[in-house]
Amino acid sequence: MTQHSGEELVGKDFWESHYGRSERIWSGNVNSTLAAALKDLAPGSALDLGCGEGGDALWLAARGWQVTGVDISETAVARAREAAAEHGMSESTEFIAVDLAEWDDQREFDLVTLSFFQAPFDFQRAEIQRRATERVAVGGRIVVLSHAATPPGPDLAPRGRGMPTIRPCHGR
């Protein structure tokens, strides 16, 4: 676990430290499981919660989606915005840096995604997921991807806790 002054980092401090450790953390490519699940879905509006550096959001935008990506890390969001600009997708993407526990956007989306929405510390995961279901427009979809086991790496492995459980949600 990343440490600062003898204390474990949590929340925004953790994720800023995580993304600050190198120029790029992720490949910039879409998650293959997400791509397979959504490849035939007609584009509309999409919300990517925990968007990181924007790989999934940019893949959606390249396929005609109007995408809003939200992440707690200002560093990750800045990288997502830069990548959108580099690929000419600034008009079809919006990236917001905010703690999802505090974010209160009431828009509805045709697609809501939460990919690998996990952390090595307690946070309001269940409440954020519940509120994510409220952002799905009538007839829309929510896709939640999660690790089947604890993700590797010393700063992502939970301490003394098992993996969170996912319960299916029934649409409106």
List residues bridging with 67 in a β-sheet.
46, 93
Higher pLDDT, 98 or 152: 98
Please, what's the b/e burial string for 74-92 (b: 16 or more CB within 10 A of its CB; e: otherwise)? ebbbebbbebbeeeebeeb
Question: Which candidate, 2, 21, 20, 31, places its Cα nearest to that of 120?
Answer: 2
- Name the DSSP class of 112: E
d(C-alpha 94, C-alpha 71), whole Å: 11
Q: Does position 5 have pLDDT exceeding 60, yes or no?
A: no
Helix (H, G, I), strand (E, B) or coil at 14: helix
Q: How is the chain split among helix, strand and coil, in percent rounded to 5?
A: 30, 20, 50
Region 125-132: mean pLDDT is 84
Q: Does position 124 have pLDDT exceeding 60, yes or no?
A: yes
d(C-alpha 133, C-alpha 84), whole Å: 26
Structural class in CATH, domain 30-172: alpha beta
Q: Residue 124: which residues within 8 A CB-CB, separation 6 or more?
A: 100, 101
Please write the tens of the pLDDT for every residue from 129-168. Answer: 888 999 999 999 999 887 555 555 555 544 444 444 444 4
pLDDT of 24? 72
d(C-alpha 167, C-alpha 147), whole Å: 14
pTM: 0.77
Q: Does position 170 have pLDDT exceeding 50, yes or no?
A: no
Please write the tens of the pLDDT for every residue from 14-63. Answer: 778 777 777 776 666 788 888 998 999 999 999 999 899 999 999 999 99
Q: Does position 109 have pLDDT exceeding 60, yes or no?
A: yes
